């Protein structure tokens, strides 16, 4: 390849993909009829709270297609880089592709520009990917409504750099100060989050990791009681929700042992005996 044909994309991974003729439209062609008789899998409830050390973000494990449960070990909380996590609701297939491109975009910028992509750059990159999926979202078979949680290392150490962003189907992002939830079970827990944030004995942002974990387990358990598409803790199969923390030290996945202990503490004494 001659030097003239080398294009400097200045860290823009999506432009690089376009130059290589990679089809950036996520999902199926926009001409696909929304009347097609296709069972599309959907993932359900995810929730994020800003606690004392950063952000805790979680998702249940159930994936459904119509009224059928097709998988009970779905991963809906995906690490993108050392300090950011994407929680997905909607179509898993499309969401995983968005997460994969987003992860490689951040890596490409870091390696080509020898620095991290800015917070605003990360938010805009995800907005672009969601907007490119609009045709599928409008057909009702490929919508993805994620929560993006990250830790801003530019914030002074004495302050909490945890940030939570909610996206709509057009790619617009909104910062949620203390919590965010989306998916079919979110309707049952959004009000509870509001109550805890405003009137709880210990507000969400003042909770330590254990308190935040117990709170999230209770919230997902509540959602599973009223929403058939959301699963709680499966005691027989030992399937827990996926819970990750995003702090100044990076992303950490809470272990099953940790969740077992917290789940026991989350139950009323009469049930725990």
Closest alpha carbon to 88 in 146, 38, 30: 146
- Token pair, residue 145, equals 């409504």
Q: Is 45 one of the annotated active-site residues of the chain?
A: no
Contact 144, 91 (CB under 8 A): yes
Closest alpha carbon to 251 in 51, 89, 73, 55: 55
DSSP letters of 55-69? EEEEE---EEETTEE
Closest alpha carbon to 85 in 181, 149, 144, 175: 149
- Token pair, residue 268, equals 């009323």
- Considering the candidates 32, 44, 182, 222, report the single residue annotated as catalytic: 44
Q: What are 176's strand-pairing partners?
A: 164
Q: Is 124 exposed, middle or buried (0-12, 13-18, 19+ CB in 10 A)?
A: middle
User: Which residues are CB-neighbours of 123 under 8 A, at least 6 positions away?
Assistant: 148, 165, 173
Angle in degrees, 0-180, between the axes of helices 92-113 and 119-132, rounded to the nearest 10: 140
- Token pair, residue 175, equals 């910062």
Residue found under tokens 């992303």: 251
Active site residues: 44
């Amino acid at each position: 390849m001659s030097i003239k044909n080398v294009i400097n994309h200045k860290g823009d991974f999506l432009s690089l993909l376009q130059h290589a003729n990679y089809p950036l439209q996520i999902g199926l062609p926009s001409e696909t009829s929304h009347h097609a008789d296709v069972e599309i899998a959907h993932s359900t409830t995810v929730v994020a709270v800003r606690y004392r050390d950063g952000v805790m973000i979680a998702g249940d494990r159930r994936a459904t297609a119509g009224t059928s449960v097709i998988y009970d070990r779905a991963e809906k909380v995906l690490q993108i880089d050392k300090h950011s996590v994407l929680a997905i609701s909607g179509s898993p297939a499309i969401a995983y592709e968005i997460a994969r491109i987003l992860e490689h975009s951040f890596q490409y910028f870091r390696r080509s520009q020898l620095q991290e992509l800015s917070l605003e750059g990360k938010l805009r990159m995800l907005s672009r990917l969601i907007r490119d999926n609009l045709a599928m979202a409008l057909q009702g078979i490929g919508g993805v409504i994620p929560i993006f949680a990250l830790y801003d290392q530019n914030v002074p150490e004495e302050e909490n750099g945890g940030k939570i962003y909610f996206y709509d189907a057009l790619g617009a992002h909104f910062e949620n100060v203390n919590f965010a939830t989306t998916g079919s079970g979110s309707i049952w827990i959004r009000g509870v989050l509001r109550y805890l944030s405003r009137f709880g004995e210990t507000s969400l942002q003042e909770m330590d990791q254990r308190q935040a974990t117990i709170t999230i387990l209770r919230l997902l358990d509540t959602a599973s009681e009223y929403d058939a598409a959301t699963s709680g803790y499966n005691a027989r199969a030992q399937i827990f929700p996926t819970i990750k923390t995003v702090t100044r030290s990076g992303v950490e996945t809470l272990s099953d042992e940790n969740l077992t202990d917290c789940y026991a503490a989350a139950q009323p004494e009469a049930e725990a005996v």
